[in-house]
Chains A and B, each alone.
Chain A
Amino acid sequence: MTISNFYDRSAWHIMGSHRENPDALLVEECLSGSQHAWSEFYHRFLPLVRSTVRRQKGLNSSDIDDLTQNIFLHLVDGLNDYDTRYSLPRFVCRVAERTCIDEYRGLKAAKRHAPTDPIDHHDGGEEGSLTIQALGESQEDELSRAQIAAVLRKALKSLGSRCRDLLSMRYYEELPYRRISEVFHATDNTLTVQVRRCIEELRAVWDELMRTGVGR
Chain B
Amino acid sequence: MKRPDETQPGDHPKDLLFHYLEGELDPGESANVKRHLDACSECLKEFRMLDETVSMLRVNREAFCPEAWEVYEFVKTGSDPEGSLTRHVSGCPTCSQEAEAYRTSVHSSALPEAIKEKVEKRFSKNVTDFRPPEPRLTSSGWFSSSIKRRIVVCGALAASIALVVLMYPRGAVGPRIGLSPTIWEQTEHYLTPKAGPLGPPKTNLAVLFVFREFPGPVPQADIDSLYQAVKPGPELSERFQFIQPVQVRDALGGARLGSDNREALYKVLRDKVYLQRLLLLTVSPKGTAFRIEGELIDLTSGQILKSQSGQVAGKSQLMSTIGEWLSLME
Q: Which of B21-55 contact A (CB under 8 A)?
A: 22, 24, 49-50, 53-54
From A8, A37, A172, B64 is in contact (CB under 8 Å) with A172
For B46, the closest partner residue in chain A by CB is A200
Tell me the bound Cα distance from A7 to B263 in angstroms: 11
Cβ-based interface call for B289 (8 A):
no
Known contacts: A39-B181, A192-B22. The answer to whether A55 contacts B68 by CB under 8 A is yes
Q: Known contacts A69-B112, A73-B114; is A3 also within 8 Å of B262 by CB?
A: yes
| Structural contact, A15 and B174, CB atoms closer than 8 A | no
- When chains A and B are docked, how far (Å) is the Cα of A33 from the Cα of B121? 9
B101 interface residue, CB < 8 Å from A? yes
* Main DSSP-derived SS at the A contact region: helix
Q: Tell me if B175 and A196 are in contact (CB < 8 A).
A: no
Q: Establish whether residues A46 and B179, one from each chain, have CB atoms under 8 Å apart when the complex forms.
A: no
- Return chain B residues, CB-CB under 8 Å to A8: 260
Residues of B whose CB lies within 8 Å of any CB of A are 1-4, 15, 18-19, 22, 24, 49-50, 53-54, 56-65, 67-69, 71-73, 76, 82, 84, 88, 91, 98, 101-102, 105, 107-112, 114-116, 118-120, 122-124, 126-129, 173-183, 211-212, 217-218, 220-221, 223-224, 246, 249-250, 252-255, 257-265, 297, 301-304
Known interface pairs A152-B57, A171-B57, A199-B18; A38-B115 also in contact (CB < 8 Å): yes
Q: How many residue pairs, one in A and one in B, have C-beta atoms under 8 Å apart?
A: 265
Partner of A51, one of B62, B98, B178: B98
Residue of B nearest to A127 (CB): B114
Q: Are B108 and A43 in contact (CB under 8 A)?
A: yes
Indicate if the CB atoms of B174 and A10 lie closer than 8 Å.
yes
- Would A47 and B102 count as touching, CB distance under 8 A? yes
Give chain A residues whose Cβ lies under 8 Å from the Cβ of B62: 55, 146, 149, 153
Interface status of A9 (Cβ within 8 A of chain B): yes
Q: How many residues of A contact B (CB 8 A)?
A: 83
Interface string of A38-79 (1 = CB under 8 A from B): 111011101110111001000000000000010011001100
Tell me if A35 and B72 are in contact (CB < 8 A): no
A168 to B82, CA, bound (A): 14
Q: A143 to B62, alpha carbons, bound, how many Å? A: 13
Could you say which of B76, B115, B212, B249 has the most chain A C-beta atoms within 10 Å of its C-beta? Answer: B115
Among A1, A33, A90, A200, which residue has its beta carbon within 8 angstroms of that of B129?
A33
Chain A residues with a Cβ under 8 A of chain B: 1-19, 22, 25-26, 29, 31-40, 42-44, 46-48, 50-52, 55, 69, 72-73, 76-77, 87, 89-90, 92-93, 96, 128, 145-146, 148-150, 152-153, 156, 161, 164-165, 167-168, 171-173, 177, 188-189, 192-193, 195-196, 199-200, 202-203, 206
A126 to chain B, nearest CB (A): 13
B119 touches A14 (CB 8 A): no
Q: What is the CA–CA distance of A36 and B175 in the complex, to the nearest angstrom?
A: 24
- Knowing A35-B116, A203-B49, the reply to whether A16 touches B249 (Cβ < 8 A) is yes
Also in contact, A37 and B181, with CB within 8 A (given A32-B123, A156-B64): yes
CA gap between A12 and B252 in the complex, in Å:
11
Q: How far is the CA of A12 from the CA of B282 in the complex (A)?
A: 13
Partner of A199, one of B50, B71, B176: B50
Contact of B60 among A7, A69, A148 (CB under 8 A): A148
- Bound: A18/B249 CA distance, A: 10
What are 18 pairs between A and B in contact, CB < 8 Å?
A: A3-B262, A12-B265, A13-B174, A15-B177, A34-B128, A38-B115, A38-B116, A39-B110, A43-B107, A48-B69, A51-B71, A51-B101, A93-B69, A96-B68, A161-B82, A171-B61, A192-B24, A196-B18
Contact B111 A38 (CB under 8 A): yes
Whether A128 and B114, one on each chain, are in contact in the complex, defined by CB atoms closer than 8 angstroms, is yes
Cβ of A58 to closest chain B Cβ, rounded Å: 13
